[in-house]
Amino acid sequence: MKFEIVKSGSGIGRKNVLGVALYENFTPEDLDTLPSDIALPAEIYIQRENFRAKRGSVLAAPLANEDTRCVALAGLGPRESAKTDDYRLAAFNIVRTAASRGASSVSMSIPGASDRLISRAIGEGAALACYRFEKYRAPDEDDRFAAPETAEILDGDAKALSEGFTIGECQCYARDVANEPGNVINPGTLAETANDLALEKGFKIKVFDESELAAKGMNALLSVGKGSAAPPRLIHLEYAPKSPIATTAIVGKGITFDSGGLDIKPADSMLTMKGDKTGACVALGVIKAASELKLPIAVHAVIGAAENMPGGNSYRPDDIIRAYNGKTIEINNTDAEGRVTLADTLAYACGLKPDNVIDVATLTGACAVALGSTTAGLFTNDDKFGAEFLAAAATSGERFWKLPMDDENLRKKIKSPVADVVNSAGRYGGAITAAMFLENFVEKGRPWIHLDIAAADFVKEPYSYYIKGATAYGLRGIMAWLLDLASRITDR
């Protein structure tokens, strides 16, 4: 999508769809950016439909005009409480209206668009509005959906719009990979996908197969993948700008399908388990976005990829496994496999000596119980790092909530009488004890954040700017933090 900036006073042009975002209690004057012959029909539709511009609402007013097919009015909610995400959602609703009509162009008047963060949000919303995953469906001849080629923005910030659109597109890329079924994406084909990205962007890449994993002592990752016909892989991509000002490692859980292993899941619980690789997909999307935005921060994307299947060679309850960093793990639940793969992956990432590590994982149902389906859990061994991430991510529209890691009674639950740690401490406080387990494989003193996105990674019913399927939750939050980090360091 190509963005065009129009300055105040000139009004928005006659594109296929004209979009105006409005606060609640708006007045007719708020439609002044529309051409006069279009503003009046829009006012009539507003009155007829009793449109009040509540947050997330949208009204499409069709027009009998050879240039303009319709006006799309998007609600921002009350002016005094409007957040960055409200502008992102308004842009989504306007562009989605245009796309659903097959419009090749759209104009948008969104208050506050001159603000850098709001323009970035508009760009993200525009990209998310163009997303569908329908590659396996036969074409519908009545379907007119098409992403607009051009978007005209009144008083927008061109750089921030482009930045936001890039981030949104990279989130859509991550969603595409996450939405692929298990018969298409397994550990080997995920490595091929990563290799394709590396070739496209010029990344360094290493892929460790099962023999190399065994030689390195990555027995945790190997054990989880033993029951599958598709053996596990550790995937390491590196974006290396000239003279980087910092280095970060993004670690992704890449369970390409999770049956639960020998502790097999009920049938209904296996649905959507193709999405158990979403953390890995987020890692791919982040390194792609960092490269396309030419961030001055080196980024390592490290993915532990495995398929958790039952079989004659599967790992078992009561197994004791020695991980890459030498610690031993007692297995008491083969369906708590993600943390086992992350044990080796985190230890490997710390060995790269980055300034900090962020892991992203669809880890626990307990996190969903605690926070609901639209908030991810955040855990950290460094409160300053956690506070900086939360402050930056607040502009991304992704919700994170910091959960504690200082409960020593809970910590005792991951102690094992026969090994260093046990892989599951039961239901109560399950998200916290999972994070405590992971901390055993993070190098002491290395700032680390764990994002448990299990609650928000897969949408069963559309909401906000997410359609059914994978969300790649966490990508925009991480990118907001990376952009903020780059700004803070270069401004010193």
What 3-state DSSP class applies to 361? strand
The closest alpha carbon to 162, from 33, 12, 14, 289, belongs to 289
**Catalytic-role residue among 339, 399, 413, 476:** 339
The CA angle 79-80-85, to the nearest 5 degrees, is: 70
Spatial CA neighbour of 357 closest among 365, 349, 345, 348: 349
Determine the Cα–Cα distance for residues 471 and 473; give it in Å rounded to an integer.
5
- Residue 219 to residues 246, 266, 399, 423, Cα–Cα distance (Å): 31, 27, 34, 14
Residue 173 amino acid letter? Y
Residue 162: which residues within 8 A CB-CB, separation 6 or more? 3, 123
For residue 309, what are the contacts with CB-CB under 8 A and spacing of at least 6?
227, 228, 229, 257, 259, 261
The residue from 79, 83, 216, 265 that is catalytic is: 265
Residue 108 CA to residue 155 CA, distance in Å, equals: 10
As a whole number of Å, the end-to-end CA separation of the chain is 34
Q: State the Cα–Cα distance between residues 25 and 236, nearest whole angstrom.
A: 52
Exposed e or buried b per residue across 83-103, where buried means at least 16 C-beta atoms within 10 angstroms of its C-beta: bbbbbbbbbbbbbbbbbbbeb
Contact 140, 252 (CB under 8 A): no
CA 328 vs. chain centroid, Å, equals 32
Q: What CA–CA distances, in Å, run from 444 to 342, 356, 385, 440?
A: 16, 12, 15, 9
The count of C-alpha atoms lying within 13 angstroms of the C-alpha of 284, restricted to the half-sphere facing its C-beta, is: 31
Contact assessment for residue 18 and residue 68, using Cβ atoms and an 8 Å cutoff? yes
DSSP-assigned beta bridge partners for residue 487: none
Within 8 A by CB and 6+ apart from 362, the residues are 253, 255, 275, 276, 278, 279, 338, 452, 453, 454, 457, 458
Q: How far is CA 93 from the centre of its chain?
A: 19
Angle at 178 between CA 172 and CA 181, to 5 degrees: 130
Sequence-ordered strand ranges (E) for 431-484: 448-452, 458-459, 469-470
Q: Is 265 a catalytic residue?
A: yes
Residues annotated as catalytic are 265, 339
